[in-house]
Amino acid sequence: MRRALVILSLATLLVGCAGSGGQRPAPAEPAEPNASDSAPAPSGERYALSGDAYPEDPPDVAQVPDAVPQREPRSRGGNKSPYEVWGKRYEVMADASGYRREGRASWYGEKFHGYATSNGEIYDMYKMSAAHRSLPLPSFVRVTSLDNGRSTIVRVNDRGPFHSEREIDLSYAAAARLGILEQGTGRVRVEAIDVERWLARRGGEPEPAPDEDAAAPASARADASDAPADGVFLQVAALGSEEGARALQARLEAEIARPVRVASATGLHRVQVGPLDPSGQVDPVREQLRRAGFAQAFIVDDAD
């Protein structure tokens, strides 16, 4: 099973978005290189939509956590090598070690939401995932925008894109994180994550431990020892999911090398960086968070 790979264009598609009636950017309709054994739509085609589209009423994906690298076996589907699409032959890499490329990223949306990916999973455009022509399935990669410096970690579970020489095809959520929804494509750097090294830095666990101080990497704990006892915190997010908050905590600790805590109360899990000295640490850390895609961080004190 596999999904057809999306060919994005700079054109926009008119969709009846709730309350707006305006134009939204959307991927153009792709040709479908291979048949699928997924259930067909009533028309006899695999997909209910004839062309890809921006979701009509998308949820706020600003706080969707990165994919969390972890040990996974190669998928039974999607790893055949070589394989052929539109008469062109492709090879699947034996492993992703050291992979680092720059190119253009595209994204795919509503048409493929809820349908099978190349490795047989179900595509959810609101999660951090991606498609790639040659990386093993699954793989974890960091994708960084070369235009604005934002980055995200995605799990590659699909094949594509097969249009032109685009490097990677991102989910809606990942494209939103990198700020390429409006343009349709964007210049990116794709870097494979060594899962064993990633886990080793976190004590061998795919998720940070409940003890926040013990879960922090050494660099973050060192910063914590130098931090002011009565400092302030920068709140990055307030999530309803503790698992999502812990994943975001791990991502921030890795990216900005500062202590990060999860403060939980009344069903919300607040991800906060600090304590920070308000006279000299807040602005530099706020800039680090902005580059990581969290421009809306705001100051709270230890009592909040």
Q: Same structural domain for residues 104 and 226?
A: no
Beta partners for residue 141, in sequence order: 154, 192
pLDDT class of 56 with cuts at 50, 70, 90: low
| Sheet strands (E) in 5-90 | 12-14, 23-25, 83-85, 88-90
pLDDT band at 162 (very low <50, low <70, confident <90, very high): confident
Tell which wins on pLDDT, 170 or 211: 170
pLDDT of 44 higher than 50: no
> pLDDT at residue 299 above 70?
yes
State in Å, rounded, how far the first CA of the chain is from the last one. 49
Quickly state the pLDDT bin for 3 (edges 50, 70, 90): very low
Q: Is the pLDDT of residue 170 over 90?
A: yes
**CATH number assigned to the domain comprising residue 274:** 3.30.70.1070
Select from 153, 185, 200 the last residue of a domain.
200
Same structural domain, 183 and 287: no
CA distances from 225 to 109, 159, 218 (A): 45, 45, 11
SS3 content of the chain, % helix, strand, coil (to 5): 20, 25, 55
Same domain, 253 and 169: no
Q: Which domain CATH number covers 114?
A: 2.40.40.10
Closest listed residue to residue 69, CA positions, set 251, 219, 289, 257:
251
Mean predicted confidence (pLDDT) in 44-48: 43
- Choosing from 200, 233, 250, the residue where a domain stops is 200
Residue 8 to residue 266: CA distance in whole angstroms: 43
CB 264 within 8 A of CB 227: no
Helical H runs in 189-235?
A: 195-200, 212-215, 218-226
Q: Assess contact for 53 and 97: CB atoms under 8 A.
A: no
For residue 156, pLDDT beyond 90:
yes
| Together in a domain, 232 and 285 | yes
Q: What average pLDDT does this structure show over 22-41?
A: 36
Residues 271-299, mean pLDDT to the nearest whole number: 84
Give yes or no: residues 33 and 180 share one domain: yes
Q: In the chain, how many domains are there?
A: 2
Quote the percentage of the chain above a pLDDT of 90.
28
Residue of 80 and 207 predicted with greater confidence: 80
Q: Where in the sequence is the domain holding 96, given as residue range(s)?
A: 1-200
Residues 226, 151: one domain? no
| Cβ atoms of 170 and 130 closer than 8 Å | yes
User: Which residues contact residue 93 at a Cβ distance below 8 angstroms, ignoring those fewer than 6 apart?
Assistant: 99, 134, 135, 136
Residues 50 and 150 reside in one and the same domain:
yes
pLDDT higher than threshold 90 for residue 15: no
Cα distance between residue 48 and residue 281, in whole Å = 52
Cα 124 from chain centroid (whole Å): 12
Q: How confident is the model at residue 100 (pLDDT cuts 50, 70, 90)?
A: very high
List residues bridging with 238 in a β-sheet: 270
Average pLDDT, the chain: 74
Same domain for 188 and 260: no
DSSP conformation class of 28: B
- Segment 141-166 shows an average pLDDT of 90
Q: What is the average per-residue pLDDT within 63-70?
A: 90
CB 40 within 8 A of CB 46: yes
167 in the same domain as 109 = yes
* pLDDT the model gives residue 29: 37
Whether 196 and 208 share a structural domain: no
pLDDT digits (tens, 9 = 90+) for 115-130: 788 888 888 888 999 9
Per-residue confidence at 296, pLDDT binned at 50, 70, 90?
Answer: confident
Q: Between residues 138 and 22, which one has the greater pLDDT?
A: 138
Do 220 and 82 fall into the same domain? no
Q: Is the peptide bond before 217 cis (omega within 30 degrees of 0)?
A: no
**Contact present, 93 and 135 (Cβ < 8 Å):** yes
What global pTM score does this model have? 0.56
Q: For the ranges 132-136, 137-141, 205-209, which has the lowest average pLDDT?
A: 205-209
Are residues 115 and 188 located together in one domain of the fold?
Answer: yes
299 secondary structure, DSSP code = E
Q: How confident is the model at residue 302 (pLDDT cuts 50, 70, 90)?
A: low
- Identify the residue whose tokens are 């680090």: 288
Strand partners, 189: 102, 144
The more confidently predicted of residues 301 and 169 is 169
Q: Of the ranges 54-63, 165-174, 219-228, which is most confident?
A: 165-174
Q: Which residues contact 278 (CB under 8 A, 6 or more apart)?
A: 231, 232, 299
Lowest mean pLDDT among 17-31, 51-65, 272-286: 17-31
Residue 286 has pLDDT above 70, yes or no: yes
Q: What single-letter amino acid sits at 10?
A: L
- Other beta carbons within 10 angstroms of residue 84's beta carbon come to 11
10 pLDDT more than 70: no
Q: Which of 166, 200, 234 is the last residue of a domain?
A: 200
Taking 70 as the threshold, does the pLDDT of residue 213 lie above it?
no
